[in-house]
Amino acid sequence: MPNDIVLILSDGFWEAKHRIFGQPLYSLIRLQQLKIPLEEGLDGIIRFFRENFETPTDDATILSLQWRGPVTPP
Amino acid sequence: MNLSPMMSPRTKSNASSRPGLSGTVLAFHQLQKMRSSFVNICFISFFFAFALTLSTSATQLPQNWNSEFPKGPEKRTMMSALGRCAALFRAVIGMNSRQVSLEPDPGARRMRQIQRLIQNPNFVSKLGKKLGLEIRVYNQTPNADQPTGDFYRVEELPNGKLAVFVGDVEGKGPFAGALSMILLLEVIQISYTIKPNGNSCRTI
């Protein structure tokens, strides 16, 4: 997954999961799928969810993963 | 009741000799001490009753009882599960009991401990960085002092891969937190052997 950001959503984002995937189990999204600029990262996805879906009133978690390449020790 | 800041748990034994405390506070302390002693006596009695039951029932067991007892890996798995149950039991009981302490809410501290176990963004990002992955966490909790059902974890697998997972237990509070802990432990174990099926688990 070069440069792209992968997001994993908890069940708190149930509406987003239902609308995007049609089922609650699947929780993995790539940022490019949602047409969000890559540089916005996690902030972009939070803004996108707030604008398009109901704000979760319960606990909700997003993990964003971006490949940066292996870190060489100093 | 006027509880001064000097009334820390370390100095509570000197509460009766401290001037300036009202009779109500002293009576409250005495009651808490008595309650603590009563709980200890109950626990010791229960332990002896349990040991007695075990010793008497052992005499009625069949001769091959020892051979049916799990051995080797099965025994280790069972003992590990028992250890986890005991730790969980201690955590839950500790959260629900009001110990002999003048802390405003000792349960809240334990809840925060559980919260750190099941949701630790620093640990996740450090482990991800080590393997070249930037991991950021957005976490929304209705109440900071109350564990939620969400948990996440990153595990470094022996084959050099990284397992990342997010889970959710319905509800919130101590029992949702405790259930999350159990699930987290199970998922950590499963992550070493699970095969991605493209639905709930996928290779990125």
pLDDT above 90 as % of chain B: 0
The CA distance from A41 to the nearest CA of chain B, in Å, is: 9
Which among A25, A56, A66 is the nearest to B140, CB-wise?
A56
* Angle formed at CA B42 by CA B40 and CA B47, multiple of 5 degrees: 95
CA B30, CA A24: separation in Å to the nearest integer? Answer: 54
Question: Which residue does chain A place closest to B131, by CA atoms?
Answer: A70
Calculate mean pLDDT across residues A16-39: 79
- Please, which residues 110-149 of chain B have a Cβ atom closer than 8 Å to chain A? 119, 124, 128-142, 148-149
Contact B127, B156 (CB under 8 A): yes
Is residue A49 scored above 50 in pLDDT?
Answer: yes
Name the least confident of A4-18, B41-55, B56-70, B122-136. B56-70
Beta carbons of A65 and B137 less than 8 Å apart: no
Calculate the CA dihedral of residues B66, B72, B74, B78 and round it to 10 degrees.
80
The pLDDT tens digits for B11-65 are 444 444 444 556 666 666 666 666 555 555 555 555 555 555 444 444 444 444 4
* Angle formed at CA B133 by CA B129 and CA B138, multiple of 5 degrees: 90
Calculate mean pLDDT across residues B69-81: 60
Calculate mean pLDDT across residues B160-177: 77
The CA distance from B162 to the nearest CA of chain A, in Å, is: 11
Q: Point out which residues pair with A67 in neighbouring strands.
A: A2, B133
Whole-model pTM?
0.54
- Order of strands, sheet of A60-67, starting from the edge strand that comes earlier in the sequence: A28-30, A5-9, A60-67, B133-140
B177 touches chain A (CB under 8 A): no
Which among B128, B129, B140 is the nearest to A60, CB-wise?
B140
Q: Kindly provide the residue ranges of all beta strands, DSSP E only, lying in B28-187, ordered along the sequence.
A: 133-140, 148-156, 162-172
pLDDT at B75: 60
Residue labelled with tokens 């309650």: B35
Half-sphere exposure for B102 (CA within 13 Å, toward CB): 19
Contact B155, A16 (CB under 8 A): no
Give CA B164 to chain center in angstroms. Answer: 22
